[in-house]
Amino acid sequence: MPVNSAWLRRILAFNLVLQVLIVITGGLVRLTGSGLGCPTWPRCEGDSFTPVIHDAMTFHPFVEYGNRMLSVLVGVGALLTVWAVWRWARSRTPMMPLAWAILGLTIGQGALGGITVLTRLHPITVMGHFLVSMSLVMLSTWLVLRERQPDHRARPVAPLIVRQLAAATSLALVAVLVLGTIVTGSGPHSGDAEHPARFGLDARTISWLHADAVMLFVGLVVAMVVATRLVSRAVRSREWWGWVLLISLAQGVIGYTQYLTGLPELLVLVHMLGAAALTATVTGGVLTLWDREPAAVGDTDVTGAPELTARQR
């Protein structure tokens, strides 16, 4: 069994919370039209790294500056994650590579944020910004879950066809997220209140393509819920997929409601939080299709092959 540290668990959870929180504050920046509240980068305005107080200023610089300060805290969280894993779990596969990946993507996310400002919120850079955040939520969730497992060899608890179905469901989620960002890049909330930058695509058409992808995703999630209930050893995974289904249905209701009500800012923000929750729960659902608990002598794996004792391996 691994030597656990309460501080390691706290730091990994802290990092995950920060990665989700930056999604919310980034959404607030866009939904309030504050994306160019600080019109340059890395400075905020002119030669100042902070908002410059003057008579004609609005609240936009403070919203954007607050998001930048949180991004610094996210960077600190990523650094702490690398340090904590190195300190307490550097020999535990694959925790160290995951920690380094989180730090690398967090640094890249900061650079991409600067490029987004310098390109005047081009929708491609805004789209990339969100998708990198979803990748960071996925990696951070993976690290949190791995820390809570023992260090025995990973063994599948579901047949190959179920694991392939989980992979297809994950790919469908990627399609949903990508199409969702294209919908955003074609809709009214560009991030700049005065000079919106748009893809120039028909928002209605892209929205329906996004809805079609969501229907496919929900269908696959239902299949995963049924499949994991038919596999006796997939107890943990079926709980995760149950949550995925609930969040997916809630996301569908929110998505259609915001479409029919003209995309009110609060609903869009809740929808973004739901996307982060879906990313985290799908990650958990996929990862728990493998188990690292010690196998009892004489147990068989999902292929029917007998498990070996430690002496036999």
Q: In angstroms, how far is CA 291 from the centroid of its own chain? A: 23
Gap between the Cα atoms of 97 and 114, Å rounded = 26
Nearest Cα neighbor of 307 from 166, 157, 160 is 157
Burial-class residue 27 by CB neighbours within 10 Å (0-12, 13-18, 19+).
buried
CA dihedral 126, 131, 132, 134 (to 10 degrees): 130
Pairing of strands 155-156, 290-291: antiparallel
3-class state of residue 155 by DSSP: strand
Using CB atoms within 10 Å of the CB of residue 295, give its burial: 0 to 12 exposed, 13 to 18 middle, 19+ buried. middle
Q: What mean pLDDT comes out for the span 12-35?
A: 92
In the predicted model, what is the mean pLDDT of the chain? Answer: 88
Quick one: pLDDT band at residue 303, thresholds 50, 70, 90? low
The yes-or-no verdict on residue 188 having pLDDT over 90 is no
- pLDDT digit string (tens) for 191-240? 555 555 666 777 788 888 999 999 999 999 999 999 999 999 999 999 99
Work out the average pLDDT over 180-193.
70
Residue 306 has pLDDT above 60, yes or no: no
Give the pLDDT mean for 16-36.
Answer: 91
Q: At what angle do helices 160-186 and 265-287 cross, to 10 degrees?
A: 160
Q: What is the pLDDT of residue 311?
A: 37
**CA pseudo-torsion sign 255, 127, 24, 83:** positive
DSSP class of residue 190? -
Between helix 6-31 and helix 265-287 the angle, nearest 10°, is 150
Cβ atoms within 10 A of the Cβ of 43, count?
Answer: 12
Per-residue pLDDT, 280: 98
- From 129, 119, 108, 124, select the one nearest 29 (Cα to Cα): 129
Three-state secondary structure call for residue 192: strand
Cis peptide before 294 (omega within 30 of 0): no
What does residue 263 show for φ and ψ, rounded to 5 degrees? 55, 60
Percent of the chain predicted with pLDDT > 70: 87
Among residues 90, 92, 36, 84, which one has the least CA distance to residue 64?
Answer: 36
State the pLDDT at residue 312: 38
Q: Residue 307: pLDDT above 50?
A: no
The pLDDT assigned to 71 comes to 95
Q: Quick one: pLDDT band at residue 300, thresholds 50, 70, 90?
A: low
pLDDT at 92: 93
CB hemisphere CA count around 176 (13 angstroms): 29
Q: Give residues with Cβ within 8 angstroms of 270, minimum separation 6.
A: 254
Mean pLDDT is lowest, of 46-55, 181-190, 299-308, for 299-308
According to DSSP, the residues that pair with 293 across neighbouring strands are none
Of 204 and 186, the structure prediction assigns the larger pLDDT to 204
pLDDT at 183: 85
Measured on CA atoms in the order 115, 117, 122, 123, is the torsion positive or negative? positive
Helices 123-147, 95-118: crossing angle, 10 deg rounding: 160
Q: Average pLDDT in the 170-183 region?
A: 94
Question: Are residues 25 and 276 in contact, defined by beta-carbon separation less than 8 angstroms?
Answer: no
At 305 the pLDDT is 45
> Which of 49-58, 109-118, 221-230 has maximum average pLDDT?
221-230
- Kindly report the number of other CB atoms within 10 A of residue 200's CB atom: 8
- Per-residue pLDDT tens for 83-102? 999 999 999 999 999 999 99
What pLDDT, on a 0 to 100 scale, did the predictor assign at position 263? 81
Q: Tell me, what's the pLDDT at 195?
A: 58
3-class SS of residue 304: coil
Task: Tell me how far apart the alpha carbons of residues 244 and 224 are, in angstroms, rounded to a whole number.
Answer: 10
Mean pLDDT value of segment 104-124: 91
pLDDT, tens digit, for every residue of 242-280?
Answer: 999 999 999 999 988 988 888 888 998 999 999 999 999
- Residue 155's DSSP bridge partners are 291
Question: Can you tell me the mean pLDDT for 107-111?
Answer: 95
225, 242 contact by CB (below 8 A) = yes
